[in-house]
Amino acid sequence: MARRERYLVGLDVGTSRVTAVVGESMDDGTLDIVGIGTAESRGIKRGVVVNVDAAVDSIKKTIEEAELMAGVEIDSVHLALSGPHIKGFNSRGVIAVAGKNREITRDDVRRAIDAAKAVALPRLSTCCRRISSSTSRMGSARPSE
């Protein structure tokens, strides 16, 4: 079996079709497509899962087809999923910087990120992923150590 870290798998779960693409990371930095799997999407309407078992079967069939073509075992994917039930929003973390010379340290950045994460989600909502973006304060390029 080939080294797993050399492979990236993208999975798109759509209303009409589920598709998986397996890419092999080459030594020169390129990505070669080595496997593709496709199945009719079942159990999904307008981006919303309405039948879990049917949706799982479609995904399994797609992954199995991609594994067979690529000759590798897939154990993780990068998932693309959309629909009216998926929402994103921005949040800001504000902290006081009281260090020597008012320099922003890595600890300050961590505290600001923690403050931004402290957001109340609507009832029955789940946070799937948090993406941090950094900004500079008055031209500061990077936090100091």
- What's the rounded Cα separation, in Å, for the pair 53 and 69? 25
Q: Which tokens sit at 23?
A: 């890419």
Per-residue pLDDT tens over the stretch 83-126 = 777 777 778 888 888 766 778 888 888 888 888 888 777 777 77
Average pLDDT of the chain?
Answer: 82
Per-residue pLDDT tens over the stretch 15-36 = 899 999 999 999 998 999 999 9
Contact between 4 and 11 under an 8 Å Cβ cutoff? The reply is no
Which whole number is the average pLDDT over 125-140? 58
* Phi-psi map region of 101: left, alpha, beta (phi>0 left; psi -120 to 50 alpha): left
Q: How confident is the model at residue 14 (pLDDT cuts 50, 70, 90)?
A: confident
Amino acid in position 98: A
DSSP annotation of 121: P
Share above pLDDT 90 across residues of the chain, in percent, rounded to a whole number: 39
